[in-house]
Amino acid sequence: MAELLPLLRCPACRGALTVASAGLTCPACPRTFEVIHGIPDFRPDPPEGPRHGDFCLEVIRRWLDSSYRELWGLYHREEGDALQRLWDKHEAEAPQRGARRWEQIACHAAAAGRTVPMDASALDVGCGAGSALFALARRARLAVGLDILLTDLLLAKKRFAEAGIANVAFVAASALELPFAEQSFDLANATDVVEHVPDQERLLGEVRRALRPGGLFFFNSPNRFTLLTREPHVKLWGVGWLPRRWMEPYVRWRRGKPYRSKRLLSLFELRRLLRAAFGPHFAIRSLLPRSALARALVRPFEAIARPILPQHNVVAWKAEATEGIREEK
Ligand SMILES: [Zn+2]
């Protein structure tokens, strides 16, 4: 928390914060922010209902005296008999998943001619229970996990405490109102996040603001118009080809569940979004499909097949002061 405090700002007015008995206060606004088991809570008030749901309150109550395994069991209690299997799989793979994320960042950054700064301060936007954060914490000086779900953060915090990883901090906040000073981070990551926020332009603007000059932002973006995979959240073919207002009723008809908080971008839309936030300072690398057959079919046409490849990986960077604006090739 001591290292985090100088980076924190009031999400409403960007004022510096001071420590008060109830948590953090913004003398300029004035607003106060609760700190729950060391996690400052900057989330906007929900449109209706209490700030913390019943389940969240239960996790808060049990947090001090419970292990990560116990809290995790609480979180997944509806799994019943599958719980142990899920735990084995989930826990066995989490650090490796994290490590892969770091390799992806380094590899895509290198292809764009950028290097990931050493001794970085890193931000994981939408960190959830924290798998990419494992990698960031291992390589960076300070890794900050941000999420809108407080329960996920409480689990993540317990998990990292038990793993003896001390250079992480957690912040509950909206990704559209980052509670950080300008130029706080050298690196930002967002795993499976950008397609879920209601205002993607604002998210990118906020991340750019929080980055230092030369700082990198890495994220993945499932392609709306892929012909090679199903829609990744509902596992349906062709959803992205429908007009946006037809997607919800179509998914509801086929899957019997709502299709909300998902906005997959086409390559064109992604480029437009990036240009608005980062000017020419970004590179998009597309991911080939997983199946060996599809890969073999696509590879010769990779360059022209990009608009229909399943996923795009993006490295964007904030220009150094000395870096002139040049047009994207
Ligand atoms: Zn304020």
Q: Does residue 259 lie within any of the structural domains? A: no
Residue 232 lies in a domain: no
Q: Give the span between the Cα atoms of 190 and 41, in whole angstroms.
A: 20
Is 297 domain-assigned? Answer: yes
Where residue 329 falls among pLDDT bands split at 50, 70, 90?
A: very low
Helix (H), strand (E), coil (C) string for 137-195: HHHCCEEEEEECCHHHHHHHHHHHHHCCCCCEEEEECCCCCCCECCCCEEEEEECCCHH
For residue 163, being part of any structural domain is answered with yes
Distance of CA 294 from the midpoint of ligand 1 (Å): 52
Count of domains observed in the chain = 1
Burial classification of residue 243, based on how many CB atoms lie within 10 Å of its CB (0-12 exposed, 13-18 middle, 19 or more buried): exposed
Q: Domain range for residue 169?
A: 5-223+265-317
pLDDT of residue 152: 94
The mean per-residue pLDDT over the stretch 255-270 comes to: 80
**Amino acid at position 49, single letter:** G
- Nearest-angstrom CA–CA distance, 168 and 287: 30
CA of 17 to the centre of ligand 1 (A): 8
> Quick one: tokens of 57?
């309150």
* Ligand 1 centroid – CA 6 distance (Å): 15
- Structure tokens belonging to residue 325: 């604006």
Residues with CB under 5 A from ligand 1 (ion): 10, 12-13, 15, 26, 28-29
44-48, 199-203, 269-273: least confidently modelled range: 44-48
Is 208 in contact with 279 (CB distance < 8 Å)?
Answer: no
CA of 9 to the centre of ligand 1 (A): 8
Residue 254: inside a domain:
no
Comparing 3-7, 114-118, 212-216, 236-240, the range with the smallest average pLDDT is 236-240
In a domain, 235, yes or no: no
Write the CATH number for 81. 3.40.50.150
Residue 326 covered by a domain:
no
Predicted TM-score (pTM) of this structure = 0.87
The DSSP element (H or E) to which 219 belongs, if any, is: strand 211-222
Range ranked top by mean pLDDT from 94-98, 104-108, 310-314: 104-108
Which residue has better confidence, 287 or 21? 21
Residue type at 205 in one-letter notation:
G
Express each pLDDT in 205-259 by its tens digit: 999 999 999 999 999 888 877 766 777 776 767 766 767 787 777 667 777 787 6
SS3 label, residue 1: coil
Q: Distance, CA 164 to ligand 1 centroid (Å)?
A: 34
Q: Is residue 252 part of a domain?
A: no
- Spatial CB neighbours of 211, under 8 Å, sequence gap ≥ 6: 183, 184, 185, 186, 188, 217, 317, 318
CB 203 within 8 A of CB 194: yes
Whether 65 shows a pLDDT value over 90: the answer reads yes
Ligand 1 centroid to 25 CA: how many Å? Answer: 8
User: How far is ligand 1, taken at its centre, from the CA of residue 43, in Å?
Assistant: 13
| 181 burial level (CB within 10 Å; 0-12, 13-18, 19+) | middle
